[in-house]
Every structure is written in C-alpha cells, then in structure tokens.
Amino acid sequence: MILEINNSFCQFRGELPQKTEDYITKALTYERDIASEINSLWYMHKNAKWKGNHGQAKVILGKINKLEKDKFVCLYKKGKFATGLLNIVKEILSRHKIDIEFKDLREEPEYSGLLKWNNKPYELRAYQKEMVDAGLKAGRGVFSAAVGSGKSIIAAYIIKKHAVSTLFVVPSRGLLEQIYNDFSIWFGKHNVEQLDTKKVRSAKNFKMIKIINIQALAALNKSGDLDKLLDGVESIHIDEAHHIGSASFTDLLPKMEHVYYRYGYSGSFLRTGSDSLSMWSVLSNVLYSYPAHRGIEEGYLTPLEVKVHRLGGAFSRSYPKEYEKNYCGSKELLDKITEIIRDVGTDEQILILVKQKAKGGSLIHKHLKLCGIKSVFISGDNTKEDITRGIDSFNNKKINILIGSSVIGEGIDVRSTTHLIMAQGGKSEIVMTQALGRAVRLYEGKTVAVVHDFEFVDTKYMKKHLDQRLDVYRRNFDCEI
C-alpha cells in the first residue's frame, strides 16, 4: 500500500481495509453550522407567504432544502484527501497498524537569496521567534495568535527566509492596504504590490510579494484568470485564516498543487473540532497558539475591564425584530452612549463599533452631533483613502471618537482605544474576539482599556447573547467584569 503525497492532495494506491477506510471517512467528515442561516431563511419564507408572494417563498424553500442536503461535508473521496489533513490520516493508519509506504512527491523550492530588508522590523519577541521557527520547520500550518501579537511581522520573517514568489491573501480592503503599507516599508515598494482583478488581467509580470483580497481571488477563479496570478507562486500566506472553510478557498486546491509553502494566521478563536477540517485541508493543522490572556499576562497586550450597562429593553419573539428595536436607534441606547462619553470625557480615545451602517453608525453619529459631541463615522461606503485617514487620525489622537462598522474589523491596526463601546450586539466568538482586539493593542500611556457592553432588560435574544459575549470575554481575555 502506497500513499502518494503532493502539495494539495494525497492519494492511496491500493485498497485499504474497509474498517480503516470507514474510520478515515468519518474523521474527515464534518457537519456545517447552518442553524442561523436556516432560521433566517425560514423567517424570510414566512414573510413571503404572509405577503402572498408564493413564487419567492418557493425559491426560499429550495434554498433551505439545498442547505439541509449539504449539511454534511466529506473531505475523503475514492482514496483521495487534501494534504493538509495528512496528520489526521497518519494517526488513523498508525492506530490500525497499516503497513504503508509514504511517497512524498513534493519538492521544496530553492532559496533565491534575492529578498533583503529595506527597513527591518523590530527584533522578534520570544514567542514570535518560536512561531517563526515552527513555521520554517513545518513548511505549512496555522498560527492562532491574539490580535496585536504581531502576526504580520511573523509572516514577514518567514517570507524573508524563504525568498520565493509569495501570494498574501487578506479578507478585506482595509487589511489589504495595511499589509501593503507594512510590507512596503520592510521590503521596499519594488518588491511588493497590491492587486485587484483589473491589475492581474493587465499585468505582464508580478513582483515577488503580491497582496490580494479573497473577493478578487474568487472573481479571478470564476473568470478563468487565476492561473496567471498563481503561475510561479511557491508560497501562500492567508490572513484571518478562519475564513478559509469557504468554497472560495477549498475550490482553489487543485490550482494550488504547485504551491509548496502554505501558512494561515488568525487573531480569532480557532475551533479544534471537525468544523475546522476545511481550513486544515488548505493549510494543515495549528502550529502555534498564543492566546490574548497570555499576551496580557506577559505585558504585550493591554489589560481589559468590562462594564455592563443595564437598559430598558424591547422584547420580541423574532430575533431580527428584537435586535432592531434595541440596537438600531433606540432612545435608551443612544442616551446611554452619550452618557458614557460625557462620563469618561471627550479627551479619551473612544471607539464605537456598530453592525449596521444606516440604522446603527449613522444614527449614533447624528445623535452625538445633536448633543454637541464631535465624532467621525466610517463604513464600507467610504473610500479606501477616507477609511485609512480616519483610522490614522484616531490612532494619532487627532480625533477622539471614531464610529465604525465592519471596516474596522479583522486585523485592522486600531491601537489608541481606551474605551470601546460595543454597540453591535451579536454572539459570534470570532467577531467578539476581533472587536476586543481593537482595545488590547499597546499604546503609549494606555494602562487599561474599558469595554462597555449593554444588558437590555426583559429581552429574550439580547440577554442571551450578552451572556455569550461575557463568556467570550472571560475565556479569551481573562478580564474583570
């Protein structure tokens, strides 16, 4: 029995015992978390029927049926599986005492030695050096490290050491700009470029380090232009890797067969159960974990204190309606945010995070203006330059109150925050961890950051979600509540 190992896929040559194959099939199958999506679709279906739009209701029902049909995903088919899952399969083969020959067909790229520092970043901290060493030894894998722990620097040191054609993938345009600016300083603009679909299609050649967002990557794949970008790439780095369970990445595996080095970085909580299999399939398992509470304990992140403010709540049997009544312009919330700002003082650095633009951030911005309080609101409607300018002005204390939607999200370097107002609600561990990451980054003179959250009394979903958020705060940041 031979197991051939390539960069993207492994293939058994020979027939496995049925019992062993059953174990592998079970281990490489996971159940998708579709509950919230299903609930939302049923709500839309109910509304469509109530309005008499039976055609739309039928379409929505079809989507529900397809979701339920595709609830289970198996990553093992006809003796073939993604190389990132090799460690899991090896453990099963060892346990079943299968006599097997591993035939590794991968070839490590040769070191070119042509990549030099333009301006070298600071020397690595002890844990950062351990992460770099682990990455260089393994050649692929995921780094789960707290927001503010320096993942971009870790990536830079690995890229510098390998010195091969590299593709760096990010989830948002804000992070695209930030990574490009950092890498341009460290490696020089002659080695770094940020790309979109138009630039890829018109380019005759590419620089050594190419930065692109996942949306553009998926668009290039759909249009058939991705091969041009990936040609010659020998190293891929994916920031905020918890997103890569999506088909946008897993569909790229066949096109990435020639890519030897593969790394992922995440500042969010990474699950260790079967729902991470699709992420591991692209990159391999977690190499190193550096949680936020360890960073706080070692003095590399700012300690957090959480204050929960009780407000009169508006109950509803429907989650969307209850959310809108409490978080989208309710007088109680607007008045409490104003009170918090006046209590802490407008000379403090106050960041207000919202979920919705029009019904959240815009309303808060207008309310504060009516109260004589200056603030800046940035959202996806702003230009890339406006977003960058707003974040830089806040970090440099040229403005004191910044309101932001998802553009101040994953990986964005917002570091001067001393008071974080959570005006977005929700329960997602990833979203909450990223949100508090806007407060834990070190900043001169900042000794503690205060997180303000809200308890809406006599509500159903809002109260439950608060309890879940507080649990995330305690487990990930070990903070006082």
* Digit-coded pLDDT (tens) for 155-213: 999 999 999 999 999 988 778 988 999 999 999 999 999 999 999 999 999 999 999 99
Please give the CATH number for the structural domain made up of 298-477: 3.40.50.300
Tell me if 143 sits within 8 A of 135, measured CB to CB. yes
Q: What is the pLDDT of residue 240?
A: 83
Q: What is the pLDDT of residue 198?
A: 95
Q: What is the pLDDT of residue 243?
A: 66
Mean pLDDT score, 388-410: 86
Report the SS3 class of residue 25: helix
Q: What is the pLDDT of residue 411?
A: 60
Q: What is the pLDDT of residue 479?
A: 86
Residue 22, classified by CB atoms within 10 Å of its CB into exposed (0-12), middle (13-18) or buried (19+), is exposed
* Digit-coded pLDDT (tens) for 61-103: 888 888 777 777 788 999 999 999 999 999 999 999 999 999 9
Report the SS3 class of residue 403: strand
Average pLDDT of the chain is 90
Burial of 162-177, coded b for 16+ CB within 10 Å and e otherwise, reads bbbbbbbbbbbbbbbb
Identify the helix (H) or strand (E) that includes residue 332.
helix 331-344
| Antiparallel, parallel or unpaired: β 350-354 and 76-77 | unpaired
Q: What is the pLDDT of residue 175?
A: 85
Name which CATH class applies to 2-103.
Answer: alpha beta
> Is 60 exceeded by the pLDDT of residue 266?
yes
DSSP 69-122: HTSEEE-EETTEEEGGGHHHHHHHHHHTT---EEEE---PPPP------SS--P
Tell me if 372 sits within 8 A of 397, measured CB to CB. no
* Digit-coded pLDDT (tens) for 280-325: 888 888 899 999 999 999 999 999 999 999 999 999 999 999 999 9
AA identity, residue 93 = L
Residue 309, classified by CB atoms within 10 Å of its CB into exposed (0-12), middle (13-18) or buried (19+), is middle
Looking at per-residue confidence, does 403 or 278 come out higher? Answer: 403
Mean pLDDT score, 138-154: 91
Q: What is the pLDDT of residue 40?
A: 81
Phi and psi for 479 in degrees, rounded to 5? -100, 160
> Is 50 exceeded by the pLDDT of residue 47?
yes
Looking at per-residue confidence, does 146 or 276 come out higher? Answer: 146
How far apart are alpha carbons 357 and 364 in whole angstroms? Answer: 10
Residues of the chain with CATH 3.30.780: 2-103
Q: What percentage of the chain carries pLDDT values higher than 70? A: 95
Q: Which among 387, 333, 410 is positioned nearest to 152, based on CA atoms?
A: 410
Phi and psi for 442 in degrees, rounded to 5? -70, 145
Residues of the chain with CATH 3.40.50.300: 112-290, 298-477
In the chain, the largest separation of any two C-alpha atoms, in whole Å, equals 75
Mean pLDDT score, 142-165: 93
**With bands split at pLDDT 50, 70 and 90, how would you rate the model's confidence at 272?**
very low
> Is 80 exceeded by the pLDDT of residue 338?
yes
> Is 80 exceeded by the pLDDT of residue 256?
yes
What are 236's strand-pairing partners? 167, 262
Tell me if 372 sits within 8 A of 401, measured CB to CB. no
Highest mean pLDDT among 240-254, 326-340, 401-415: 326-340
CATH topology assigned to domain 112-290? Rossmann fold (3.40.50)
Q: What is the pLDDT of residue 334?
A: 96
Q: Is 262 left (phi over 0), alpha (psi -120 to 50) or beta?
A: beta
Residue 110, classified by CB atoms within 10 Å of its CB into exposed (0-12), middle (13-18) or buried (19+), is exposed
**With bands split at pLDDT 50, 70 and 90, how would you rate the model's confidence at 267?**
confident
> Is 50 exceeded by the pLDDT of residue 330?
yes
Write the CB contacts of 90 (distance below 8 Å, at least 6 apart in sequence). none
Q: What percentage of the chain carries pLDDT values higher than 90? A: 63
The token duo for 435 is 């949100």
Mean pLDDT score, 94-123: 89
Mean pLDDT score, 114-139: 94
